[in-house]
Structure 1
Amino acid sequence: MTFKRLSLATVGAALIAAPAFAGSVAPAPADPVIAPAPVASPGIDWTGAYGGLSLGYADVSTSGAASLSGDGMIGGLSLGYDYDLGNIVLGAGIDYDISDIDVGGADTLESVARLKLRAGYEMGRGLLYATGGAAQASLANLGEDTGYFAGIGYEHMLTDKVSIGGEVLYHAFDDFNGSGIDVEATTAAAKVNFRF
């Protein structure tokens, strides 16, 4: 009888004391989770040579000794080389466009050649850039003259080798070939380039 009472007393004491030894009912704080640093996706490497095609629209006007205007299709070829400096891309190239734009019934714009420089800012697979340089225009009656051009463009890489884009350029030829006529032209063109 004494043994039974002692056993019951021991079991009862253990049951009463168990919660005191079990610790708090609140869960233990979790270890902090450290998220891995985001991995930046590699940008496009624009370094290298390219060749391309363009097709667009030109608006031509004259002032000075004659005030004429005309517009029409223009398109051609381009070659260039870009150098990727990180977010900044620098490049140089040449364009040659042909057209048959009637300028007020008095002359016809036959071609425009450009020696160009460009500087751009890389945005993922895209390149927003400014461009400018020397331009040479050929008119059927007035001949050829050299002027300048400036503009902006955007190029987007579809693959590592093919890009598409667009470009808007303003051209100015003062006193075209000594004629006393100033010629201006604005072009907007879609472009596709192949890199090699």
Structure 2
Amino acid sequence: MFKKSLISVLLMTTPAISADMVHETQYEPAPQYEAEVQPIRWTGLRLGIHAGITHTSADANLGDTAGDLINLDVYNGLFPDLISADNNSFAGGIDAGYDYQIGNVVLGVAGDLTFSNIDVTNTFARVDPNPNPPFTGVNTNTAYMTKVDYLATARLRMGYAFDRTMIYGTAGVATAEVENRFDLEIPELAYTSPNWAEKNRLTGLVLGIGVEHQITDNWRFSLELQHVDLGDVTVNAVDPTNFPGQEINYTFDNKLMLARFGLAYAF
């Protein structure tokens, strides 16, 4: 009798226990896992290309003069004290660099080679009021030329990164092949000046600011503004054959601005 009662109780309670187990199994929430967020990485090597616009005024300042005729010409306004004109030219090239990230601060080195078509010629023309022949009423035409074939820089840069965007400053050394020329022409006297020019590889300073954005983990887009100062060059103008004892010189101010955009691949 006892065995029958025990079996009956077990049979009656088993379905209820099984139902509770099934209910708990069906509605028990699955464990949640948070995805690991990868930090934005700025450390590494980058190689890129860039293109932009150079701006220069190609300033030429009157310097020393010698000789009665030249001094009279300067007094009569045949040679300007200062001549300049705004000029914009296309530029493009290649660049490379390496960055190292410390928190949000990014330190790096950068170098680039830019090819340009800077070829600026400022002209000045006056009629000579000298009352003494053969100069009376003749045209005195002068030209002041600045030409830059290429520009290379080696720079340090320091930036602050906001996630995928970095604002930075840069400074370093710039070098370029620069030609400065001064020409004089007097058509009525069939006179053309000798080769009054200086062509040098100049070295100066470069300062700049920029912003760089990571399009993807590897591709970066940048905008940068550079100010380059390659120093002054003085061109001496003497012609001992046609105008002995006469001398004039001009000092050329070789400064330029470069606004450029770049595309780089980071490794």
Query: Do Structure 1 and Structure 2 share a fold, with TM-score over 0.5?
Result: yes
Answering whether residue 158 of structure 2 is matched by residue 119 of structure 1, we say yes
- Name the CA distance, whole Å, in 2 between partners of 1:71 and 1:139: 16
1:54 counterpart residue number: 50
How far 1:109 moved relative to its partner? Answer: 1.5
- Secondary structure of residue in 1 paired with 2:57: strand
Answering whether residue 259 of structure 2 is matched by residue 188 of structure 1, we say yes
Aligned length: 158
1:29 counterpart residue number: none
Answering whether residue 74 of structure 2 is matched by residue 87 of structure 1, we say no
- Name the CA distance, whole Å, in 2 between partners of 1:125 and 1:195: 13
Answering whether residue 216 of structure 2 is matched by residue 145 of structure 1, we say no
1:23 counterpart residue number: none
Alignment counterpart, residue 165 of structure 1, candidates 222, 229, 244:
222
Amino acid of the structure 1 residue aligned with 2:159: G
- Secondary structure of residue in 1 paired with 2:217: coil
- Secondary structure of residue in 2 paired with 1:175: strand
Unaligned runs of 5+ in 1: 1-38
How far 1:140 moved relative to its partner? Answer: 4.1
How far 1:40 moved relative to its partner? Answer: 9.9
Amino acid of the structure 2 residue aligned with 1:103: V
CA-atom RMSD in angstroms: 2.1
Amino acid of the structure 2 residue aligned with 1:49: L
Tell me the TM-score normalized by structure 2. Answer: 0.55
Unaligned runs of 5+ in 2: 1-34, 63-81, 123-144, 181-198, 236-250
- Name the CA distance, whole Å, in 2 between partners of 1:183 and 1:53: 25
Amino acid of the structure 2 residue aligned with 1:131: T
Tell me the TM-score normalized by structure 1. Answer: 0.73
